[in-house]
Structure 1
């Protein structure tokens, strides 16, 4: 009897344990819904916030909440500085309003007119209390001459102060001032020392900006310093190397520097920044040398398969080149077919034209129609026009004429002018 009881108790405990385990199963946390808005007015209405005059009468905490959205929304096109600054400049200033005011100045283009002296006083007072962004904002107003006489020397002093206390905007502005010699003697090594305080991705962008500014002098020393900064920018942040690569490869830097930039892009392989790859391919294409053109085509094929419209356009040109052999053109067609199969309209359009005219492939009206129809069904007005005209011109079947006219009507509705002209001509006959 004791044995049976013991077994029963054990079974009950096991059942209870399983039930507890089941109760502890945690459902996966749903992903947060990301709200997107086309502009500030759409956001304001969605949140139920009043128009600016009424919002200015709200209690300070509510005004700060709304002003924060108006001045610092991640999507720049959603911001409304007029609205945001109006809320901050209503009534007496406070520590919170002034600090948000500074942040808004650093993130938006804005002038304050006759309120500028009051804004400067508020920023200066809060800067003395240790607000880093207030220091940087004060310097920006002086640097840009926003409703005050432009003063590089004063701007540099404030920027450097902001940099000393660790404000990233101040560090960037201090580095740029030193690189240009604006408000302080020119000193590129010192500029780089300040820039070294930034994290790599931000420093890379700053190096590119410094290079862009100092190269304008065209002196050999500045050209060398500029190229070094651009190469370092690419090394610091290879996944965003497009802008420094574009400058290095399109301006009058020595060939050895450009070769070094290309070597850095090649070293990244397929992980290289697509923008850097595109710039490199465009430069190689312009060299018009067989080896360079072949490498350019290879890069364009890689980018085309990812849907890059510019690369697809270059492959279209490559199909028409007499110096590209059949094997090369077959590879181009293969890449375009892959892109078209992935739904990239521009690839379908290029293939439609290639098969229609027999450019780089054996002409086939049937295949051309297939690709043009694929692009047309994705609401591309040009493809709809070409398909419609093709169907009207290539057969005598009444049903094809009717379908062709329907495609022209869709193209015209999409705003394609040649489709409108074709329909007018058909109606007049």
Structure 2
């Protein structure tokens, strides 16, 4: 009996070992897909082996659609080439797919069709009747923009509203904006807000900011109040992208109570707040020139500087020279700048170099000044290269240091820094 149990246990262990091995095979990590990035359209076109536009328009329609899709809808706007993409769609035989892609291209890019505009509008209208939402929205946009056709707000609104009714997001946005401004239809802000609610929160937040920006121009008390409310709602809907509504709300002449409410909403997000919103808030606090406001601004700039924000680093540089900022706070500022410099942010190293060179907020130290300036110079900062070069030329009689200083000036001049170019000319004339 014991021998039988032993055999069974051995078999079970073997089965368990095999199952473990099979499981190990199953959970083998999958290699991450390679993400292709390109600086511009030409780089993408050459990498893909696509011909120049004159040859591309002669390709079969499926190939033209493939290339035009990349030219018109690639997520990176700088990589797109609308002229190339539209040329492929308007060349030779077309199709429903080509018209639908053309509509997306119109909604996502600048366009100009010239004498082809009537044909484009006919194609968009025909496909709109077949249920293409983007074709409806694109037709309305062409009428609204008045490019290559007479501008017609009334016709544009009818098409935008049609696109909105069938659920096209661009159509909803355009309908809400037309209602808010009274373009092509009587002004009706409550109705505009009803359409906006149909969008998902992040997109609705952007629309609220755009509506607020447009209606506040009337400067009527009612419109200012609605604009304020929309901007606050935008911040609440998408706090991670609160920079745009915050900039609008805090930099224009909105009631102080509303601005205070906006700042409270940004503060509530803490370090997770949108960096752009934090920067706008800190800049506003800095301008108030009250001790408590300036102190809060400095705290925000410290947080942003440690993340490499160039504007925040510049503000901290200015804070070091303020007489109303105490020694303890200046020590904290130096600490934040040192953290940023240690993370590889050249601007922070340059600011520290200047602070130690002139003794601004710290005890002067030529040795530390040179160390930080050299760190920034090695990261190809032309101004730091110039400052380091001049410092080395002026502070020693060592021929080797003079030669190194001149080399830094040459690098700065090659980077286009005018003071370095002038310094080299003066050295050459001596």
- TM score, norm. by length of structure 1: 0.96
The aligned residue for residue 132 of structure 1 is 133
Q: Counterparts of 1:291 and 1:112 in 2: how far apart (Å)?
A: 57
Deviations for 1:328-358, whole angstroms, at most 9, x for unmatched residues?
A: 1111111111111111111111111111111
Q: Alpha-carbon deviation of 1:93?
A: 3.0
Query: Are the counterparts in 2 of residues 234 and 245 from structure 1 also a CA contact under 8 Å?
Result: yes
Distance 2:193 2:385 in 1: 54
Is the contact between residue 340 and residue 347 of structure 1 (CA under 8 Å) also seen in structure 2? Answer: yes
RMSD over aligned CA atoms reads 1.6
Distance of 1:244 and 1:310 partners within structure 2: 19
Q: Distance in 2 between matches of 1:269 and 1:17?
A: 50
Q: Distance in 2 between matches of 1:170 and 1:328?
A: 52
C-alpha deviation, 1:136, in angstroms:
0.4
Q: Is the 8 A contact 2:356 2:365 kept in 1?
A: yes
User: In the aligned structure 2, how far is the partner of 1:224 from the partner of 1:5?
Assistant: 87
Alignment of 1:279-294 (within 5 A): 279-294=280-295
Q: Is the CA contact (8 Å cut-off) linking 1:93 and 1:122 kept in structure 2?
A: no
User: What are the residue-to-residue correspondences of 1:53-92 with 2, within 5 Å?
Assistant: 53-92=54-93
Residue 254 (structure 1) aligns with: 255
CA distance in structure 1 between the aligned counterparts of 2:16 and 2:54, rounded to whole angstroms: 62
Match of 1:347 in 2: 348
State the partner residue of 1:27: 28
Query: Per-residue deviation at 1:121?
Result: 0.8
2:405 is the counterpart of 1:381: no
The corresponding residue for 2:366 is 365
Shift of 1:86: 1.5
Structure-1 separation of matches of 2:263 and 2:55: 57
Please tell me whether residue 265 in structure 1 is matched to residue 281 in structure 2. Answer: no
| Aligned-partner Cα distance in 1 for 2:293–2:16 | 70
**Is 1:213 equivalent to 2:208 in the alignment?**
no
Unmatched segments (≥5 aa) in structure 2: none
Equivalent position of 2:198 in the other structure: 197
SS of structure 2 residue aligned to 1:322: coil
CA distance, structure 2, for counterparts of residue 408 and residue 5 of structure 1:
88
Give, in angstroms, the shift of residue 7 of structure 1. 4.4
Q: How far is the alpha carbon of 1:239 from its aligned partner?
A: 0.6
**2:17 — aligned with what?**
18
Deviations 1:1-21 (A, max 9, x none): x97687467546633542453
Q: Could you say what secondary structure the match of 1:203 adopts?
A: helix
Cα distance in 1 between the residues matched to 2:111 and 2:127: 20
- In structure 1, the partner of 2:161 is 160
CA distance in 1 between partners of 2:224 and 2:133 (Å): 34
Instruction: Give me the whole-angstrom Cα distance separating, in 2, the residues matched to 1:233 and 1:298.
Output: 25
In 1, the alpha carbon distance for the partners of 2:405 and 2:41 equals 43
Per the alignment, residue 171 of structure 1 pairs with 172
Q: Which residue of 2 aligns with 1:314?
A: 315
Structure 1: distance between partners of 2:8 and 2:332: 73
Match of 1:148 in 2: 149
Greater shift in the superposed pair: 409-418 or 258-267? 409-418
Distance (whole Å) between structure 2 residues aligned to residue 230 and residue 5 of structure 1 = 78
Q: Distance in 2 between matches of 1:256 and 1:17?
A: 69
2:55 & 2:404 partners in 1: Cα distance?
56
Q: CA deviation at 1:59?
A: 2.0
Asked if residue 45 in structure 1 is aligned to residue 46 in structure 2, the reply is: yes
CA distance in 2, matches of 1:293, 1:249: 16
CA distance in 2 between counterparts of 1:141 and 1:426 reads 60
Separation in 2, partners of 1:37, 1:392: 42
- Provide structure 1 residue ranges, at least 5 long, that are not aligned to the other structure: none
* Alignment partners' CA distance in 2, 1:389 and 1:233: 50
Contact preservation (8 Å) 1:372, 1:387: yes
Deviation for aligned residue 1:43: 1.0
> What are the Cα deviations for residues 61-111 of structure 1, in whole angstroms up to 9, with x where unaligned?
211111111111111111111111111112343211111111111111102
Contact 2:143 2:150 in 1 (8 A): yes
TM-score, normalization by structure 2: 0.96
Partners of 2:116 and 2:407 lie apart in 1 by 60
